[in-house]
Structure formats: structure tokens, C-alpha cells
């Protein structure tokens, strides 16, 4: 065995190139297509035949003969023990993978006019074969009850005529002429094969099947249909799971620079969506985990999200060579190029390995299990150097985003274990794909729980929303509709300080540890499992809409715009429900009914001079740092914020609220005044000061920046306070008679929120907690802000409820984040009780 050569130009790679296990040589014939069976490796040649190689001995077993031109595509139907082959001779043939004998010939609609049959895709669920044709038509045939034409057809025989193939031996697009002796990047393939020198050839009389006009879409593309793929891929899910998952979609790629998505059913094929702007013909496709990878001319791969119908990434090849084949295992993508190079790409679209696999153009590739290694796999590549090379590859350590079943023993806990494994850190660009995969996983999970779920795009480059609806039973009166809001993104989790891997949910002493278990993945799944359990018992008599965002920890960018754009899809909502905070202690359940708002401002003072040396200029000039200190000092005195009119609209404390603080003081052993100052009184904070230059003790910085925030309470107006803050700082700065420049900008705002303790919704939630825990919950407020609550209240014109599931020691945003297993399960039960109770509310 020898290892592959590595490219010095690919500097990103982190893995060694794979070991070359074996090489198979065809007789002077390009390898146009590949398929692997448990016993055989099938290779479609440019010289009409399909070579059959023994998987164990790598010896050429036989040749399947019947086509009269090159074999452009191969596809397997394992359950039927069938091999499909399509050719430039305008036919598709079906072969037995048991005795390697021919079974059927499929003639396309309009036969000769269909042209070369470039691509095949077989759906075992629908028992249907889809064919992409040179004449731009999409055709299909159902094989459960094939319509066999009368008569028979014997595979023709005769001499082979050397010819150039219009696609696989194509010439550079700029030349617009057939390849000649001087074609620099393409290797000629001469077909000088002699039949009498080959192993035995299987032949047998075959029946003929005819595709009808009803199973044809003319002009499905405006160019040759080079490639196609099914989603969900038959490699991802079983037939039964595919049926449960819903519609099967066919993805097609064409020389017209588009990728099209088609909905497939027993009734036929319907166009769904077109992805445009591939900047070159689409030559190869693979679809996995709700993602389409399209290999194009010019050496780039377009990565599309099927749910949101958006382009999420473009992968560029260093050599800009056409990508004629794609293969995928788990989250690893293998690109095979016309340059002869193969590259392996991670789930984050980083090139982790690259090597020159062939001296010619790689035309085909396929991944299969390596029978000689328990956990090993083989990447088979075929090229126009007449060689098939088998490379030993390993599975990625990244868990594939595939749900195979729901966990009967404990859906909630096992689901949370899977959910946490996605490092969905929204603030880090390197985790962008992890966030998207977490959203795809959640959408699948909610679907399997019984919801109608989809992904909703936000802004370009931002993570999608997950929108799901658990629809309750229809009754005589109008159903209530509750919206549960949460977020699947998390903050970073450096491993320092953790006792276990932060992205591996670990159970210890009654707690589950892992980033996001309490903030906010655990509560999301608890709510979903509660609705699913009621749905299964036919006790869900309302609609629960789940709206889960992926940018909450990064400022909820794009969230408001997406909600406004999809209000019709969300529908009318009666109350918003959130579970994204914690108890005030460890043992007594709580309900949060208030949050402070926030205004965050950036302040910068700049000098017209560069950074200076304090030993040279100190004392002779005004310094921006001293101006900043004086300016910040004007914002407050001993205990009051000096922004004009700041306290004018602060809501006074009423006796009922004062009694609540006294009760909480007894329970928590904290002074009531301390609780009130954190929850219901406004506050000013200066978070940091940064300077230009190196920041050492001898430098006078030319610019100084500070971050300031104001915490707001009912009934302060966030816009008015923001403007007063900016105006006041400019007025204070002008009094300093400084020669410097001041800039004040509002970076972020979030409104305050106060729930209605007298509403029927709040009383129902309070009763549900009492019934589950056996103790009346404490009514608490929080000093922090959750911008989405007041926004959703105003946008959806309804009230909101906030049920904390975590304890005060859950360590959210800190190392060893955890959630109590008892709290998680009881939180689910509280949610069930609440949904049953409010479903009885009258209109």
C-alpha cells in the first residue's frame, strides 16, 4: 500500500492523506461512473461495458454488456438486488446484482430525442427511478408494477467505435471546439478494447419498459441535467422513517447554472424551488441532513439550506478546477476535481485533507464500507486515466445530524444529550455551521414529536429560526394559541474550569452538565415533550407554536425583522410563554413576572494627535483619558443618576409589591431593599475603558473608549432615556472646554417587561406549579433583560408568562453549567398541566 501525495498549496489541512488500498485498471477506458455492492464494485466505462470487480479479491469478475455507448451513471436498488445503468445510447438498463444478468431495458419518452441519459436517482420509498436527460427533460418510471412491452430485446453486439464524449471528454468552455492534440488539461481516451481478452460476459434476453409522456417534464432545465440526488437520502434513513418524515424531494443540477428542487410522490413530480447563480454549470450533487452541496464549473461548491432555501456557504477549490463528483459520509464532504485532486471538507467547510488521487480527470466517486476494517470506509475514485483507486478513509468524530428514532425510555433526557452535542455558539464565526445543524436537528426532533416544523431564514449570514406548531384537537370553539419562545444558540464554553466536555451532556448526582442544558436547550425540549405527550394522549386541545431563535446570545440580530415578515405564518397568538431564567434559591419553585430594560452606549473621546509619550508631552497637553474620567463622573453622584428626567416616570412601589419583597426577604434571608434595588430600580454601570496604542504606563492614548449601560424599569421610555443620555453627555463634555472630539452611540436597547399577576394565564401557571411541586411558587423579578419578551408582546398584541426551570446554582454562562434532572422533568409536567388548564379557557 502507498499513501497519496499531498499538495503544498493546501495549508488548511489537518489530517494526513488517506492510504491507497488498491488500484483497479480498466482496459483503455475512462471510468465514467461507479457503484458499490456488498459483493461487487461496478464501474461504468466509456467503452460501453460495465466492469464488475470482486470486492474481496479485487479481481475482474465479468463485464455487463448491452449498452452501445458510454455508461454515464450507475445506481443501486439494494432491496431489489438491482443495478441501474444509463448511457449515451439513450437507454437505461436494469441488471441483477445476484447473478449479474440483464433484466430490463428502459426506453425514455421520445427515446432518441432524449439524448444522453446523464444522471439517475432511485427512491426505494416510492420504488421510482428518476432520469436526467440531455434534452433537458426530467423523466421517471415506477418499478413496483412495470409495464413490460411485448417482445424482447437482445443486447446488441458489435465493434466499438472510438469517439469523444460530449460531456465527459468536454473541452474548455472558452475554446468552444472539440479537443485536439493541444488540449492542455484533458487526457484523450482511446477505445481499443478487444472482447476476446476479457473475462466471461453475461448476456440474456431482456424485457423492455417504456416511459410515457405523463412521466416526463419537458424543459425541466435550460441545459443538460448532469446530476441529481434525493433528500432525505436513502443512505440517511430507512424507508419507513422516510415515509414518516414526509415528502421526498429530488434535487437536480444542470448546465444552466441552477439547482432545482422537486417534490416527489406517487402522483408524480412537482417543481418546488430553484437555486440560481451557481456561476457555472452544476456538474455534481450530494444532499445530506437538509443541506445541498452543488459542485460546479470553475472549482466551487455551493452549499444550500433546503429548509430556508438560502445559500449558506461557497467552498472554493485552490486550483479552480471543475468538480465532477461529490461524495459524503456523516458530515465530511469529499470533492473530486478535473485536476485529479480530492479534498476532504469538514462540517465547518474547512479543508482537512487533500491529495492528488489521479493523473487525469476524476469523473466519479463513491464511499462504501471497508469489509476488512470494522469501522473503516473506502472512498473509490474513477478517472479518465482508466484507473479506479480505493482510499482508506475514517469517519469523522463529528456526530452526524441524523435522527433515526425517538427514545422510548426517556425522550427528554436523551434528546437533550443529542442537542447539547452541537456547539451552537452564535458569537463565533467558526461555529456558524454548528448553529445551522443544531437548528436542523431541532426541526427534525420537533417533527418526530408530532409538530409541523420548518426553518425560517433571518438575515444573510445569520442563523435561522425554528418554527414549529403542535396542533391540538379540533373542537366546537376556537382553540387557544400559545407561543413558546426560546433560543438554541449558546455562549462560548472554553474547557478551562469544566469537569467534563461542555458539549457532551453528562449526568452526575442528579444533574445534567453541559453548555446550554439550562440556557436554553433543556427548557425548550421540556416544553416540546410536554406538548408531544399531550398530543399522543389526545389531550392537547390548543395549538402550541414554538419559535426558537439562534442569535439570542449575540443580540437577537435579525429576529424582529423575521418575526414581522412571518406574522401570517406564526398566526394569532393569545399568550407568549418563555422559560429562560432561574429560581431565586434551590428548593422553592418560582415564576418570574418582571425584567429590567437596558440601554447600552458606546462613548469615544478622540484627539487630533497620535499616541504620545507621557515623559515628553505629559502636562503640556489635554489628555483624552482625563476627559473621559471627568465625563463619566458627571453621570452620577453618590446614589443618583444625573441624566435629566431619568426618574420622572419610574413606577412607585405599591403595598402589594412591598409585601412580596418582605416575603422574599424571609425566604431568601436577603434584605428586601437589596432585592428591590436589583429588580425594580434603575441603575447605571460603566463596563470597561479601552485605549489606543499598546496600553503601557508611558503612553498617552490618542483615543479612549468606554461602554456604559442604563438599566430601566417600568414606566421609563427607552427612546426618551436613550436620547437624554446622548444629549446629557454632549452637554457635559462641552463644559469641559476640551479640544478633543466626543462620539456617543446607542449600541443596543431592550425594553423592560412586567407581567400581569391578575390575568387568568398567570393564575393558571401558578396553579400548575402548585399542583406539581406541592408548594406555591415565589413571584420574582430579574435584573437582566430579555429583549424578545416585550417585543413579542407588542408585535403579537398579547401578554407573556415566564416560568424558570433552573435553580440559582445552575451556572448559566459559566463553567459546569447544569440543570437538575428533577427540575427538568417537573418543568415538563408543569407545562403539561398548564396546557391542559388553559385549553379550557373560553373565547
DSSP 422: S
The residues near 299 (Cβ < 8 Å, ≥ 6 apart) are 316, 317, 318, 319, 320, 321, 322, 323, 337
DSSP 534: H
Calculate the CA 350 to chain-centre distance.
16
Rounded to whole angstroms, the Cα distance separating 642 from 634 reads: 7
Select from 83, 92, 93, 21 the least CA-distant residue to 52: 83
Rounded to whole angstroms, the Cα distance separating 86 from 134 reads: 12
810 to 128, 156, 512, 513, 817: CA distances (angstroms)? 52, 74, 10, 9, 6
Select from 438, 418, 424, 426 the least CA-distant residue to 289: 438
Q: Quick check: is 747 catalytic?
A: no
Q: Quick check: is 795 catalytic?
A: no
Rounded to whole angstroms, the Cα distance separating 444 from 242 reads: 12
* Residue 184, pLDDT score: 34
Residues making up the chain, counted from first to last = 843
pLDDT tens digit sequence for 106-133:
999 988 889 999 999 999 999 999 999 9
Mean pLDDT over residues 345-367, rounded? 92
Range in 66-70, 182-186, 252-256, 309-313 with the lowest mean pLDDT: 182-186
* Residue 264, pLDDT score: 95
Q: Helices 522-536 & 432-449, crossing angle to 10 degrees?
A: 20
* Residue 8, pLDDT score: 40
Cβ atoms of 40 and 97 within 8 Å: the answer is yes
Cβ atoms of 364 and 34 within 8 Å: the answer is yes
Neighbours of 735 (CB within 10 A): 10
Q: Please state which CATH number belongs to domain 2-170+197-394.
A: 2.130.10.10
Rounded to whole angstroms, the Cα distance separating 477 from 667 reads: 43
* Residue 727, pLDDT score: 97
pLDDT tens digit sequence for 479-537:
999 999 999 999 999 999 999 999 999 999 999 999 999 999 999 999 999 999 999 89
DSSP 148: B
CATH topology of domain 441-595+753-838: Aminopeptidase (3.40.630)
Cβ atoms of 304 and 311 within 8 Å: the answer is yes
Select from 35, 204, 34, 211 the least CA-distant residue to 103: 204
pLDDT tens digit sequence for 563-575:
999 999 999 999 9
| Domains of the chain, residue spans | 2-170+197-394, 441-595+753-838, 598-647+682-750
801 has which bridge partners?
577
CA atoms within 13 A on the CB side of 281: 18
The residues near 813 (Cβ < 8 Å, ≥ 6 apart) are 491, 519
Cβ atoms of 258 and 274 within 8 Å: the answer is yes
Whether residue 646 is predicted with pLDDT greater than 80 in this model: the reply is yes
Q: Quick one: cell of 193?
A: 478494447
Cβ atoms of 725 and 765 within 8 Å: the answer is no
Burial 470-479 (b: 16+ CB within 10 A, else e): bbbeeeeeeb
The residues near 394 (Cβ < 8 Å, ≥ 6 apart) are 18, 375, 376, 377
Q: pLDDT band at 401, cuts 50/70/90?
A: low
Whether residue 196 is predicted with pLDDT greater than 50 in this model: the reply is no
Neighbours of 81 (CB within 10 A): 14
Q: Which of the pair, 544 or 666, is modelled with greater confidence?
A: 544
* Residue 159, pLDDT score: 27
Asked if the peptide bond before residue 715 counts as cis, ω within 30 degrees of 0, the response is yes
Cβ atoms of 73 and 33 within 8 Å: the answer is yes
Neighbours of 122 (CB within 10 A): 20
CATH topology of domain 598-647+682-750: Alpha-Beta Plaits (3.30.70)
Cβ atoms of 632 and 706 within 8 Å: the answer is yes
By DSSP bridging, strand 590-595 and strand 778-782 are parallel
% of the chain exceeding 70 in pLDDT: 88
Range in 261-275, 404-418, 540-554, 586-600 with the lowest mean pLDDT: 404-418
Range in 233-242, 748-757, 777-786 with the lowest mean pLDDT: 233-242
DSSP 46: T
Strands of 193-247 (E only): list them. Answer: 201-202, 207-210, 216-217, 225-231
Mean pLDDT over residues 321-333, rounded? 94
pLDDT tens digit sequence for 27-75:
878 999 999 999 999 999 998 899 999 998 999 999 999 999 999 999 9
652 to 130, 676, 713: CA distances (angstroms)? 71, 12, 10
pTM for the whole thing? 0.75
* Residue 247, pLDDT score: 75
Select from 541, 556, 518, 598 the least CA-distant residue to 427: 556
* Residue 634, pLDDT score: 96
Whether residue 800 is predicted with pLDDT greater than 90 in this model: the reply is yes
pLDDT tens digit sequence for 410-434:
889 999 999 999 999 999 999 999 9
Cβ atoms of 742 and 666 within 8 Å: the answer is no
**What is the three-class DSSP state of 616?**
helix
pLDDT tens digit sequence for 223-266:
999 999 998 887 654 444 444 445 799 999 999 999 999 999 99
Cell 407561543 identifies what position? 483
Neighbours of 843 (CB within 10 A): 7
Rounded to whole angstroms, the Cα distance separating 460 from 406 reads: 33
Rounded to whole angstroms, the Cα distance separating 616 from 730 reads: 30
Torsions phi, psi for 567 (to 5 deg): -60, -35
Q: Taking all residues of the chain, what is their mean pLDDT, rounded to a whole number?
A: 87
Catalytic residue among 49, 69, 330, 552: 552
Select from 457, 325, 459, 344 the least CA-distant residue to 394: 344
Mean pLDDT over residues 792-801, rounded? 96
- The 3-class secondary structure across 328-341, one letter per residue, is EECCEEEEEECCCE
Label residue 239 left, alpha or beta by phi (over 0 means left) and psi (-120 to 50 means alpha).
alpha
* Residue 205, pLDDT score: 59
Select from 454, 781, 397 the least CA-distant residue to 594: 781
Catalytic residue among 322, 489, 549, 574: 489
Q: pLDDT band at 146, cuts 50/70/90?
A: low
Strands ordered across the beta sheet of 216-217: 117-123, 128-133, 138-142, 216-217
Select from 556, 547, 565, 548 the least CA-distant residue to 462: 556
Mean pLDDT over residues 761-777, rounded? 97
Cβ atoms of 246 and 263 within 8 Å: the answer is no
Whether residue 150 is predicted with pLDDT greater than 50 in this model: the reply is no
Amino acid at each position: 500500500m502507498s499513501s497519496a501525495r499531498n499538495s503544498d498549496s493546501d495549508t488548511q489541512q489537518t489530517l494526513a492523506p488517506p492510504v491507497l488500498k488498491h488500484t483497479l485498471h480498466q482496459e483503455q477506458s475512462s471510468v465514467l461512473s461507479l457503484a458499490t455492492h456488498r459483493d461487487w464494485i461496478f464501474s461504468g466505462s466509456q467503452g460501453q461495458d460495465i466492469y464488475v470487480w470482486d470486492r474481496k479479491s479485487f479481481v475482474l469478475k465479468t463485464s455487463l454488456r448491452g449498452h452501445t455507448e458510454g455508461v454515464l451513471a450507475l445506481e443501486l436498488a439494494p432491496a431489489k438486488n438491482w443495478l441501474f445503468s444509463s448511457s449515451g445510447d439513450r437507454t437505461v438498463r436494469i441488471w441483477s446484482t445476484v447473478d449479474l444478468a440483464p433484466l430490463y431495458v428502459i426506453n425514455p419518452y421520445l427515446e432518441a430525442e432524449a439524448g444522453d441519459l446523464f444522471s439517475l436517482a432511485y427512491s426505494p420509498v416510492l420504488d421510482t427511478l428518476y432520469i436526467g436527460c440531455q434534452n433537458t427533460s426530467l423523466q421517471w418510471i415506477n418499478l413496483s408494477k412495470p409495464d413490460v412491452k411485448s417482445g424482447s430485446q437482445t443486447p446488441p453486439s458489435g465493434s466499438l467505435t472510438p469517439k469523444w464524449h460530449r460531456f465527459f471528454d468536454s473541452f474548455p468552455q472558452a475554446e468552444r471546439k472539440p479537443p485536439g492534440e493541444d488540449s492542455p488539461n484533458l487526457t484523450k481516451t482511446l477505445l481499443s478494447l478487444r472482447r476476446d481478452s476479457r473475462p466471461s460476459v453475461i448476456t440474456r434476453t431482456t424485457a423492455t419498459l417504456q416511459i410515457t409522456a405523463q412521466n416526463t417534464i419537458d424543459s425541466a432545465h435550460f441545459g443538460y441535467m448532469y446530476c441529481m440526488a434525493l433528500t432525505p437520502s436513502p443512505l440517511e434513513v430507512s424507508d419507513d422513517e422516510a415515509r414518516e418524515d414526509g415528502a421526498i424531494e429530488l434535487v437536480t443540477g444542470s448546465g444552466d447554472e441552477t439547482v432545482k428542487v422537486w417534490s416527489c410522490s406517487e402522483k408524480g413530480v412537482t417543481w418546488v424551488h430553484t437555486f440560481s447563480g451557481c456561476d457555472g454549470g452544476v456538474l455534481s450533487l450530494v444532499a445530506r441532513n437538509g443541506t445541498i452541496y452543488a459542485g460546479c464549473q470553475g472549482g466551487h461548491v455551493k452549499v444550500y439550506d433546503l429548509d430556508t432555501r438560502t445559500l449558506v456557504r461557497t467552498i472554493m477549490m485552490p486550483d479552480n478546477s471543475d468538480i465532477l463528483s461529490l461524495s459524503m459520509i456523516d458530515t465530511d464532504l469529499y470533492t473530486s476535481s478535473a485536476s485529479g485532486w480530492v479534498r476532504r471538507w469538514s462540517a465547518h467547510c474547512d479543508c482537512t485533507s487533500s491529495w492528488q488521487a489521479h493523473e487525469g480527470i476524476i469523473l466519479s466517486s463513491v464511499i462504501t464500507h471497508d469489509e476488512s476494517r470494522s469501522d473503516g470506509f473506502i472512498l473509490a475514485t474513477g478517472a479518465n486515466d482508466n484507473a479506479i483507486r480505493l482510499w482508506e478513509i475514517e469517519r469523522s468524530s463529528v456526530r452526524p445530524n441524523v435522527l433515526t428514532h425517538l427514545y422510548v425510555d426517556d425522550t427528554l433526557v436523551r434528546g437533550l444529550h443529542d442537542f447539547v452535542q452541537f456547539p451552537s455558539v452564535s458569537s463565533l464565526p467558526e461555529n456558524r455551521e454548528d448553529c445551522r445543524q443544531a437548528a436542523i436537528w431541532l426541526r427534525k426532533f420537533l417533527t418526530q414529536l408530532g409538530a409541523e416544523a420548518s426553518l425560517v431564514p433571518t438575515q444573510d449570514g445569520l442563523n435561522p429560526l425554528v418554527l414549529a406548531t403542535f396542533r391540538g384537537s379540533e373542537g366546537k370553539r376556537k382553540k387557544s394559541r400559545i407561543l413558546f419562545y426560546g433560543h438554541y444558540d449558546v455562549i462560548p464554553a472554553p474547557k478551562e474550569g469544566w469537569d467534563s466536555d461542555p458539549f457532551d451532556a453528562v449526568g452526575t448526582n442528579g444533574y445534567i452538565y453541559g453548555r446550554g442544558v439550562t440556557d436554553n436547550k433543556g427548557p425548550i425540549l421540556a416544553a416540546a415533550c410536554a406538548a408531544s405527550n399531550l398530543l399522543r394522549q389526545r389531550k392537547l386541545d390548543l395549538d402550541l407554536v414554538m419559535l426558537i431563535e439562534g442569535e439570542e446570545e449575540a443580540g437577537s440580530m435579525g429576529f424582529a425583522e423575521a418575526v414581522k415578515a412571518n406574522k401570517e405564518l406564526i398566526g394569532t397568538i393569545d399568550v407568549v410563554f418563555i422559560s429562560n431564567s432561574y429560581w431565586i434559591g434551590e428548593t422553592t419553585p418560582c415564576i418570574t413576572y418582571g425584567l429590567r430594560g437596558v440601554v447600552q452606549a458606546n462613548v469615544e473621546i478622540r484627539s487630533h494627535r497620535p499616541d504620545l509619550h507621557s515623559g515628553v508631552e505629559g502636562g503640556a497637553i489635554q489628555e483624552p483619558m482625563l476627559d473621559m474620567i471627568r465625563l463619566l463622573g458627571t453621570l452620577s453622584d453618590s446614589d443618583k443618576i444625573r441624566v435629566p428626567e431619568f426618574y420622572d416616570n419610574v413606577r412607585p412601589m405599591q403595598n402589594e409589591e412591598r409585601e412580596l419583597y418582605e416575603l422574599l426577604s424571609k425566604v431568601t434571608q436577603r434584605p428586601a431593599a437589596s432585592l428591590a434595588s436589583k429588580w425594580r430600580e434603575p441603575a447605571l454601570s460603566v463596563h470597561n475603558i479601552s485605549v489606543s496604542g499598546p496600553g503601557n504606563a508611558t503612553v498617552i492614548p490618542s483615543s479612549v473608549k468606554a461602554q456604559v449601560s442604563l438599566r430601566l424599569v417600568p414606566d421609563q421610555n427607552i427612546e426618551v432615556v436613550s436620547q437624554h443620555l446622548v444629549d446629557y453627555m454632549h452637554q457635559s463634555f462641552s463644559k469641559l472646554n476640551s479640544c478633543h472630539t466626543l462620539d456617543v452611540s446607542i449600541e443596543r436597547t431592550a425594553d423592560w417587561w412586567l407581567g400581569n399577576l391578575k390575568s387568568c394565564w398567570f393564575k393558571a401557571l401558578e396553579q400548575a406549579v402548585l399542583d406539581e411541586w406541592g408548594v406555591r411558587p415565589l413571584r420574582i423579578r430579574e435584573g437582566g433583560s430579555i429583549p424578545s419578551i416585550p417585543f413579542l408582546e407588542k408585535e403579537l398584541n398579547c401578554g407573556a408568562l415566564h416560568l424558570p426551570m433552573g435553580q440559582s446554582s445552575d451556572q448559566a454562562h459559566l463553567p459546569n453549567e447544569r440543570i437538575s434532572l428533577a427540575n427538568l422533568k417537573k418543568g415538563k409536567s408543569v407545562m403539561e398541566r398548564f396546557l391542559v388548564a388553559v385549553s379550557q379557557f373560553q373565547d
